Structure 1
Amino acid sequence: MTASSNSPEPQSARDSTQSASADTAQTDAGTHRVGVLSTHNSKETKAILNAVRVLGHEPVWIRDENVTSWIEDGTVRLSPQVDVLVNRMLLTKSDHQLEDLQLAALYGETSPVINEPQAVANTLHKFRAGAKLAADGLPVPDAFFGRSPRTFEEWPEHLPDAAAYKHTIGTNGRDMSIVSPNEPVGPMINDEHAFVQEFLEDAEDRPSDVRVYVVGGEVVGAMRRHAPEGDWRTNVALGGDVEGVTDDLGQEPRHLAKKATAVLGLDLAGVDLMPIDGDWYILEVNATAGFKGLFSATGVSAAPHIARLAIERAGGSIDTSQVVELETTLDDSVPDCKPPLVQKQGDDGVLGYTSRIRINGRDGAEQAVAKSDTGAKRTSIDTDLAGRIGAGPLVGTTDVRSGTGSDTETRPLVDVDLCLNGRWRTVTASITDRSEMTYPVLLGRDVLEAYTLDISRTIEE
């Protein structure tokens, strides 16, 4: 489907008694506010926002730090307000997939959404996506899915040869392996559901596949991905090499990539294909496919194509010559529309030697008194406090020198939300036993760099 054939009704035609936007910012006549929903800091997200700006429209980066919604007198209100939303939530790495999908759906009540939530949901579960493509007559590898150890034992009856064993929801080839019918494998990989898929091998010595990037019903570029030496996975994130094949891509793979994108209801996608004995198969469809590798291989950035699709979906128009000129660069500098972690306006930007804070985790929030320490690189919280609030998720570990000696202590790192001077921010803090200390939270330079420190200010428990 093309952008022109799929344009929604003007916003004024919708029932304003049901929903309305709450952001009061105004744009010039003919200028549209293009929101990009993305809580991660990928080069692709930045490039799309920067392309929107260069094309003469206003980019709005929608993140946890700035999004709000409320219902008032039967009217749904949203801030920031946008005329169209590009949904780039990376759900394969999310711990709250339903919540993230619903945020995109909430925007869908008031504005068109590029990659609507239901389409993304269709694509997110790899076996479900394959089933939907197969039901429409598209060529996909055979596969098997079961949810219990007993049912999963049946897979060799359907796939008698080697199979790819992988997560139903995953990305970057994580934890994938090749299994044979006599291997004891179950329905879960690391506590996440899995399935097996026919392992397709091409005639080349080095495994490869073709990633085709589709935007608005058109192919904007294609690359062949070669697996690293000694591996069979072609993911760029795992070290795979890429080469541009856009000009050499035949009509059949072009048709399959566009058809697969349309069948799943997506506006843009990266479609992975493989030819076997002259026949093409659809391996996967990725709703939030990166395009750094595509740019490296072809010299074409998908960012201006995505920006144009969004602007046209909002009712604007962009000359093709502008996109062609812009696609030769990938500007991944931090856009000026990125919301700050700490809002300066109206905020008390001073912290004392001790300050009263609120700290929030998965199981609740507590008030505490925190000590400021410019000698500490990272914020740390007491083990008992972390347990009470359910601090997390665990994002890694860090080694900290203990005392004045050369010994080091390995501490877990968790994400927590801190409220300082009335403003919230997310901090990756270390967990340690501070039961012998006066204060359960120590604020390090990762927090203090955004504030002025006044050591004469203190607050007691």
Structure 2
Amino acid sequence: MSDEVRVGVLSLHNSKETKAICNAVADLGHRPRWLRAENLALTATAGGADLLPDVDVVVNRLLLPSTERPLTALGLVSAVAAGTPVVNPAEAVATATHKFAAAAHLAEAGHPVPATALRIGANRIEELAVPADEADRDPPAFSLATSAGTRVFKHPVGTHGDATRLLNPGGDAPQLRSEAQGLIQELVETPADGHEDVRVYVVGGEVIGAMRRHAPDDDWRTNVARGGRVRAATEALPDEVLELARDATDTLGLDVAGVDIIEGVDGWYVLEVNVTAGFKGFFDATGISPAPHIAKLAIERAGGVVEPERVAELATRLDDSVPACKPDLDRSPEPEQAVIGYTEEVRIAGNDGAKTVVAKADTGATRTSIDLELAGEVGAGPILDTKEVKGGDDSSPRPIVPVDVRIGDYTHQLEVNVRDRSHLSHDVLLGRDVLEHYSVRVRHGVADDTKEDSYYAREQPNE
């Protein structure tokens, strides 16, 4: 290996934290690579597992709580780890992201956590809301029903306090689907007025700083994304709190974590361990950017060398500008290829397959439209929304679904509307959402299209 370490940052979204880590790697004299859908390639052969772009270590920054398919995302991290060291590996991330799994592992290791119970389905979660002496069955071995205090309902996976709510004594738990999991947790009684907790940032087994988070006046949640106020707390916290944060991170097998800890009347408790804790609120409170510390950990994990003084210097600013290593996200056709006719052969792909059809271009249509039967054939979906679409004197709601539309060598990921086009000449109408990448030659079309007149004359715009 050369002296330069190639650090991949695995992040499929436009995260400021990802940008900051990439910039920090470059500022430390090494080579960052932002691993995204646009440039990531994995191959497994008899010779082993290969990852492109070629990197020496990967920092995992996938946002599982916000990911539509978290198991698929975890599998991706695990696949990357087959041949490359990973900061925050898949198994540790899975445990920490599931709030009850994290609490269970921490409790088993002897770390203090608020009393928490998990049930599956509406009937089981209601068990925790019925006082034990009123239940028509033997009470469970552990129940919060005997608690007279306020409790907290949570989903096992979530971020920014989403879907988290307070349950007053005697209150009903929120509705759950038959296989959905729900958590009910005791609300920790604190010695201070108002709602506040502490976030301790741990990188590579070391505490880089801590902040206190205060809930806004109209909420009880301290999340910065919900308006929580922050202030520095590193020097004011007792050593036991910093040690608890380090131990919790280590127990869950994480390399990087933001550990949320609350002070109760009888001691300190670990609330959650966040795998992809944000930088901005922490930097605003402490003046410390986690990015250079994470970059240093990754570089050294791959055998590289970093000057500690340089890390300390870079940590005094948060550089989340767009890094030079960001892949080109605009996969638009080259100018010589960016010309299509008023009819064009396109490939429509959904969840169940793909089909090649002749589409018609219409610069008067805002959004691409596909036929209802075609949508069913390729398995277009899920339905993302419903939009009113006007066509002539008619206005009708149409479902919006995601599909891939391939024109020549380029695939466009679109959200198209679906309608019955069986009475129209083409199953697909290309709108400006895709035509913005092309010049349309209205008197040219595919060879097997017998229509020779301009598409302006054949069908009404916005059909």
Normalised TM-score (structure 1): 0.84
Q: 2:114 matched to 1:141?
A: yes
Given the superposition, is the C-alpha separation of residues 250 and 419 from structure 1 closer, same or farther in structure 2, using an over 3 Å criterion?
farther
Specify the alignment match of 1:440 in structure 2.
427
Specify the alignment match of 1:421 in structure 2.
408
Deviation, 1:452, is 4.4
| Matches of 2:334 and 2:391, distance apart in 1 | 39
Q: 2:326 matched to 1:338?
A: yes
Q: Residue 187 of structure 1 contacts residue 193 of structure 1 at CA under 8 Å; is this kept in 2?
A: no
| Matches of 2:214 and 2:92, distance apart in 1 | 29
Q: Residue 121 of structure 2 contacts residue 181 of structure 2 at CA under 8 Å; is this kept in 1?
A: no
Alignment of 1:20-419 (within 5 A): 29-156=2-129, 157=132, 158-159=143-144, 160=147, 161-180=149-168, 182-185=170-173, 188=176, 192-277=180-265, 279-339=267-327, 340-342=329-331, 348-396=337-385, 400=389, 402-403=390-391, 411-419=398-406
Specify the alignment match of 2:436 in structure 1.
449
Given the superposition, is the C-alpha separation of residues 186 and 316 from structure 1 closer, same or farther in structure 2, using an over 3 Å criterion?
same
Specify the alignment match of 2:454 in structure 1.
none
Q: Residue 147 of structure 1 contacts residue 187 of structure 1 at CA under 8 Å; is this kept in 2?
A: no
Gapped runs of 5+ residues in structure 2?
Answer: 133-142, 450-463
Gapped runs of 5+ residues in structure 1?
Answer: 1-9, 11-28
State, as a whole percentage, how many aligned pairs show the same letter.
Answer: 48
| Partner secondary structure for residue 210 of structure 2 | strand
| Matches of 2:426 and 2:336, distance apart in 1 | 24
| Matches of 1:354 and 1:190, distance apart in 2 | 48
Q: Residue 396 of structure 1 contacts residue 414 of structure 1 at CA under 8 Å; is this kept in 2?
A: yes
Deviation, 1:53, is 2.0
| Partner secondary structure for residue 152 of structure 1 | helix
| Matches of 2:421 and 2:286, distance apart in 1 | 54
| Matches of 1:228 and 1:398, distance apart in 2 | 36
Write the letter of the residue equivalent to 1:111.
Answer: T
| Partner secondary structure for residue 120 of structure 2 | coil
Given the superposition, is the C-alpha separation of residues 359 and 53 from structure 1 closer, same or farther in structure 2, using an over 3 Å criterion?
farther
| Partner secondary structure for residue 9 of structure 2 | strand
Q: State which drifts further: 245-254 or 285-294.
A: 245-254
| Matches of 1:71 and 1:197, distance apart in 2 | 44
Q: Which has the larger radius of gyration?
A: 2
Given the superposition, is the C-alpha separation of residues 351 and 169 from structure 1 closer, same or farther in structure 2, using an over 3 Å criterion?
same
Can you list the C-alpha shifts for 1:118-155, whole angstroms capped at 9, x where unaligned?
Answer: 10111121101100000011010001112244443432
| Matches of 2:168 and 2:3, distance apart in 1 | 59
Q: Residue 201 of structure 1 contacts residue 207 of structure 1 at CA under 8 Å; is this kept in 2?
A: no
Q: State which drifts further: 198-207 or 428-437.
A: 428-437
| Matches of 1:433 and 1:335, distance apart in 2 | 45
Q: Residue 65 of structure 1 contacts residue 425 of structure 1 at CA under 8 Å; is this kept in 2?
A: no
Q: State which drifts further: 165-174 or 225-234.
A: 225-234
Given the superposition, is the C-alpha separation of residues 194 and 385 from structure 1 closer, same or farther in structure 2, using an over 3 Å criterion?
farther
| Partner secondary structure for residue 146 of structure 1 | strand
Residues paired across the two proteins, number: 432
Can you list the C-alpha shifts for 1:395-436, whole angstroms capped at 9, x where unaligned?
Answer: 455565x2467x976554433323222233433334455444
| Matches of 1:149 and 1:31, distance apart in 2 | 55
Given the superposition, is the C-alpha separation of residues 383 and 132 from structure 1 closer, same or farther in structure 2, using an over 3 Å criterion?
same
Aligned-residue CA RMSD (Å): 2.8
| Partner secondary structure for residue 106 of structure 1 | helix
Normalised TM-score (structure 2): 0.84
Q: State which drifts further: 412-421 or 229-238.
A: 412-421
Deviation, 1:100, is 1.1
